[in-house]
Amino acid sequence: MDIITRKIGNVQKQHHQIVKRYCLILDLIDEKHLINEYISAHSEKNHWKEIRRGLREIGILEMEIYVYGNRLVMIVETGLDFDWEVAFSKLETLPRQVEWETKMSFFQRTKGERPDEKWLMMDRIFHLYDSEAL
């Protein structure tokens, strides 16, 4: 990871609406060359356009994946009407999605095959938002 990114942070896109945010974790196989290959597959240059289109089609406004060692954290932002189970059931039917998941499974230390079986949903325990502003 780029040390500069750690120091200056990442700019967030504004969606001009209240959004839902999901945070998920997943562990990769702890081998540096496999982790680097996984990271490379997610670069803008190598990531499949069909996957990005599919994520947008099911209602994902933004998706970010962060890495620390072999641990991944994924943050997903959606509109308020987003239904996780319905959306990801639809995603499985879109072009190249199953192929992408199969390819990425090679790097992941998980028991399931489907994205909702591999990525573990985290519970938020703190936020700094001003509750009166919501």
CATH number at residue 22: 3.30.70.100
pLDDT at residue number 44: 93
pLDDT tens digit sequence for 22-65: 999 999 999 999 999 999 999 999 999 999 999 999 999 999 99
pLDDT tens digit sequence for 70-96: 999 999 999 999 999 999 999 999 999
pLDDT at residue number 17: 87
Whether 1 is in a domain gets the answer no
List, in sequence order, every residue forming a beta bridge with 74; answer none if it has no partner: 24, 65
Query: What is the tally of structural domains in the chain?
Result: 1
Whether 125 is in a domain gets the answer no
CB distance 63 to 74 below 8 Å: yes
Whether 32 is in a domain gets the answer yes
Dihedral in degrees, nearest 10, Cα atoms 33, 36, 41, 45: -130
Whether 38 is in a domain gets the answer yes
Domain range for 88 is: 17-119
